[in-house]
Amino acid sequence: VGLSDGSSPDEGVVEDVSLIDEKAVEQLAEGLISHYLPDLQRSKSALKELTQNQEVLLETIEQEISKFKECNSIPEIDALFSEAKHYHNKLVNIRNEMMLLHEKSSKLKVSGIIF
């Protein structure tokens, strides 16, 4: 059967469609839906849960970002740490000097110079 006789390729399809039983089409559609619907509903539920979790995560991240933006005192904190380190070094030097002086005074006591 060729198309050279002037007939349309869809000519026989229209007749075949009219012969299909409406009830059969409905049953096939219901069967198809019942087969895929549970999986689709589970997927929908999983996507909804994922979306909710992402919203919570985004909100948490936004809160953390705002905390960092509010933290303008970082240079002041750095300065305090530098100052604390400086004074710690001074204390270590004073302690070392005191230990040295204690040794010297102990030696002087032993030699009898200090009473």
Check whether 12 has a pLDDT greater than 60: no
Mean pLDDT value across the chain: 83
Average pLDDT over residues 91-98: 95
Whether the per-residue pLDDT at 1 is higher than 50: the answer is no
Q: How confident is the model at residue 56 (pLDDT cuts 50, 70, 90)?
A: very high
Position 98 pLDDT exceeds 60: yes
pLDDT of residue 43: 92
Contact between residue 108 and residue 114 where contact means Cβ atoms under 8 Å apart: yes
**Mean pLDDT, range 36-59, rounded to an integer:** 93
